[in-house]
Structure formats: C-alpha cells, structure tokens
C-alpha cells in the first residue's frame, strides 16, 4: 500500500517532455515518489494510507533557498537604509554578538516556517548554533545544508578556538547526512575580506577531508572587490581560486562584481553562484549580471540572504 496518494493535482513535473499534468496523481512510498500519472491512469485508484485531494491546486518540486542566514528574520526591519559595510560592522555584528541560543533557534523556527509557507523545502544556511539548528531542521523535516563560517577578525585570531570551527567539527561529527540524508554539514568562509589565505586553506582542507561543500560570500560589493585588488592585486575570485577554496564544490553568494575572467574561473571550477536580488537591492550592493554568468556557463541559483 502507498503511504500517500495525492489526487486531482495540477503537477508541474520539471520534465521538458511532459511539463504539466492536469488533474493527475502522485504516489509516495517510503518517503519517495513512486509514480506520477494522469487522471485516467489506473494508479488513481491505488489504495493509500493517506489520500490528499489537491482539488486542482498546483503540486511542484520544492523550491531551494541556496543562501540564507535563516535566524536573521528576527532582525527584519532593524538597520534598514545602510550600505553593506556599515550595516554589517556597525549594526549587525554587534547585535549578533549578543544573540542567545534561544533567540537564534526561535529565528530558525520562524525562518523555516516562512520558507515552508512559500513552498521552499530545502535551504543552505550560514549562521551560528548550527548543530542546534540541525536538530530543529531534522525535527521539522525540511532539507538543510548548514555551516558556521570562519570570520577571522583581529590579530589574536586562533583557528582552532574559533567558535565557527568548533561548531563545524561538531556538525560534521553529529549531523552530516543525518535525518535520512536531509541534513548536510557544509564548511564556510564568511568572505575574502574577513579572513586570510591561511584560514581559507585550513577550511578547504576540512572540506576536502570530508568531501563537503564550501559556502562563501563573493564579490558582493564594489568596495569588497576594489579592496581585494588593492590587497592582493587580484579579484576575490582569482585569489580564492589560487588558494584552493574552489577545490571542492563551492556555493558562492552574490557575485555582483565579477569580471568575465572571474565568471570563466567559476564555470571551469564548477562553482555555483547564489543570486540574492532582494538583499543586493536592500543594501544597495548592485545588480548581479545573471545573464552574463549564465552565458559563461556558471550555475546560478536563488537565495534570500539575511532578508
């Protein structure tokens, strides 16, 4: 017997040959779709433990939010009308330094509720208390790829004592591929401008050792890109690539200020770019050239960022 039979659904299949099935049905068994059929098929009559009458509503694959700081939904409306640098260093980082575990987890629950309400069933997250967030995501049943990113500010920075590194190791140990594979541990580098090459190489070693995805903010603002060129004589994409950050699968958020050469590097290295239009406009960061990225062969996905 099927676990679930969804009937009378207008099904968006994402299959080019058969894009939409009107008033069709979907059978689910052991957590997986076992068939998708039209309204005249015999499957429509198969017994199931639970029958859902979609009554003509749309059923489609879940949306994927590929760049989020989920708990930041509780800060929505705080620190509006700032450009990224002031927003981050003067407003957000000081507040985040005082956020309790309870506050973050309340934000994670609210953020996941918002995602599910919009049809988003999978998300990539970069924040704190990620092992606890993994437990919340596992309990709710959403799919999540989580990381706490390295932020190496200050001269006394100690990689092994960084809370991000300690949390990342715990996440890998306790949560990677947990909840039937729905939870994944990623590693994270906050951005080029908040850490140095020796830290990137250590994060990348961790990614390579455990075959993990690396999440990073990349060329989000003109200032970030200009300062990187002044520091290294290279763009963020070039300097990160030369230091091995793209050696494992990488998800780079933003890519607003990429050169054609940067796009070619990202395409060659298989780096995906999470495009966050609402965030980029809220912080007046700019408008990413998605068309040029796609023409260069870069895989582009969508994210909400901390909005």
Per CB under 5 A, residues contacting Zn ion are 253, 305
Residue nearest to Zn ion (CB): 305
Q: How far is the CB of 69 from Zn ion (least distance, A)?
A: 6
Q: For Zn ion, give the closer residue by CB, 224 or 305.
A: 305
Q: For Zn ion, give the closer residue by CB, 199 or 275.
A: 275
Dist CA 172 CA 184 (whole Å): 8
For 149, other C-beta atoms within 10 Å of its C-beta total 26
Q: For Zn ion, give the closer residue by CB, 130 or 305.
A: 305
Q: For Zn ion, give the closer residue by CB, 162 or 305.
A: 305
Q: What is the CA radius of gyration of the chain?
A: 21
Q: For Zn ion, give the closer residue by CB, 92 or 206.
A: 92
Dist CA 234 CA 266 (whole Å): 15
Q: For Zn ion, give the closer residue by CB, 136 or 218.
A: 218
The total number of residues written for the chain in this structure: 307
Q: How far is the CB of 126 from Zn ion (least distance, A)?
A: 6
Q: How far is the CB of 72 from Zn ion (least distance, A)?
A: 9
Q: For Zn ion, give the closer residue by CB, 125 or 167.
A: 125
Q: How far is the CB of 93 from Zn ion (least distance, A)?
A: 13
Q: Which of 50, 44, 49, 48 is nearest to 11 (CA)?
A: 44
Q: For Zn ion, give the closer residue by CB, 11 or 164.
A: 164
Q: How far is the CB of 187 from Zn ion (least distance, A)?
A: 15
Q: Which of 174, 188, 99 is nearest to 138 (CA)?
A: 174
Q: How far is the CB of 274 from Zn ion (least distance, A)?
A: 8
Q: How far is the CB of 84 from Zn ion (least distance, A)?
A: 10
Torsion of CA 175, 270, 217, 121, to 10 degrees: -50
Dist CA 260 CA 277 (whole Å): 20
Q: How far is the CB of 225 from Zn ion (least distance, A)?
A: 16
Dist CA 45 CA 36 (whole Å): 13
Pairing, β 20-29 against β 2-12: antiparallel
Q: For Zn ion, give the closer residue by CB, 147 or 228.
A: 147
Dist CA 128 CA 205 (whole Å): 21
Q: How far is the CB of 197 from Zn ion (least distance, A)?
A: 21
Dist CA 54 CA 148 (whole Å): 39
Dist CA 106 CA 112 (whole Å): 10
Sign of the four-CA dihedral 110, 108, 74, 301: negative
For 139, other C-beta atoms within 10 Å of its C-beta total 11
The residue whose two tokens read 């433990």 is 49
């Amino acid at each position: 017997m099927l676990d679930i039979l969804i009937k009378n659904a207008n099904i968006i299949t994402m299959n080019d040959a058969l894009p939409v099935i009107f008033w069709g049905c979907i059978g689910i068994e052991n957590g997986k779709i076992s068939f998708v059929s039209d309204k005249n098929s015999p499957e429509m009559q198969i017994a199931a433990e639970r029958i859902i009458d979609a009554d003509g509503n749309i059923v489609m694959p879940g949306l994927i939010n590929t760049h989020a700081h989920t708990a930041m939904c509780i800060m929505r409306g705080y620190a509006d009308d700032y450009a990224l640098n002031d927003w981050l260093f003067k407003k957000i980082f000081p507040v985040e330094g005082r956020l309790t575990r309870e506050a973050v987890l309340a934000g994670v629950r609210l953020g996941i509720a918002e995602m599910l309400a919009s049809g988003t069933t999978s998300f990539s997250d970069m924040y704190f208390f990620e092992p606890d967030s993994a437990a919340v995501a596992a309990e709710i049943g959403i799919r999540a790829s989580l990381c706490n990113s390295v932020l190496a500010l200050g001269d006394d920075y100690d990689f092994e004592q960084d809370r991000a590194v300690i949390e990342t190791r715990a996440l890998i140990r306790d949560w990677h591929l947990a909840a039937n594979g729905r939870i994944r541990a990623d590693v994270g580098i906050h951005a080029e401008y908040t850490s140095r090459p020796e830290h990137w190489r250590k994060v990348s070693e961790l990614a390579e050792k455990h075959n993990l995805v690396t999440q990073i903010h990349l060329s989000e603002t003109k200032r970030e890109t200009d300062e990187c060129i002044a520091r290294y004589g290279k763009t963020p994409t070039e300097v990160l690539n030369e230091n091995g950050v793209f050696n494992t699968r990488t998800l780079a958020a933003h890519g607003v200020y990429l050169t054609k050469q940067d796009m070619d590097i990202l395409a060659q290295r298989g780096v995906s770019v999470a495009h966050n239009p609402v965030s980029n406009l809220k912080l007046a960061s700019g408008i990413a050239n998605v068309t040029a990225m796609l023409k260069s062969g870069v895989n582009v996905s969508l994210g909400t960022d901390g909005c």
